[in-house]
């Protein structure tokens, strides 16, 4: 396997890596509750996926102030 004869500069390596970017996550509205969710995932707000309730979401109760 061939090896490089010369060392590449930091600038040359960094120029090559300029296109390594994180893609923005796409969000789709949930058809049940209209909250944004990741596509092809269970909705975290209502627990529905593909028109069926898959998981049951527990509602947090607020603490009363004394």
Q: pLDDT tens for residues 2-54? A: 888 999 999 999 999 999 999 999 999 999 999 999 999 999 999 999 999 99
In this structure, is residue 44 part of a structural domain?
A: yes
In this structure, is residue 47 part of a structural domain?
A: yes
**pLDDT the model gives residue 63:** 78
- 28: number of Cβ within 10 Å: 12
Alpha-carbon span 27 to 48, nearest angstrom? 16
In this structure, is residue 48 part of a structural domain?
A: yes
**pLDDT the model gives residue 6:** 92
Domain holding 40, by residue range, is 27-52
Q: pLDDT tens for residues 35-44? A: 999 999 999 9
CB-neighbour burial class of residue 43 (10 A; exposed 0-12, middle 13-18, buried 19+): buried
Domain total in the chain? 1
Which pTM was predicted? 0.59
């Amino acid at each position: 396997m061939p090896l490089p004869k010369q060392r590449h500069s930091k600038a040359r390596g960094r120029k090559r890596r300029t296109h390594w970017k994180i893609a923005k996550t796409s969000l789709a509205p949930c058809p049940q509750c209209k909250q944004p969710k990741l596509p092809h995932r269970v909705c975290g707000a209502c627990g529905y996926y593909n028109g069926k309730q898959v998981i049951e979401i527990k509602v947090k109760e607020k603490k009363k102030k004394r």
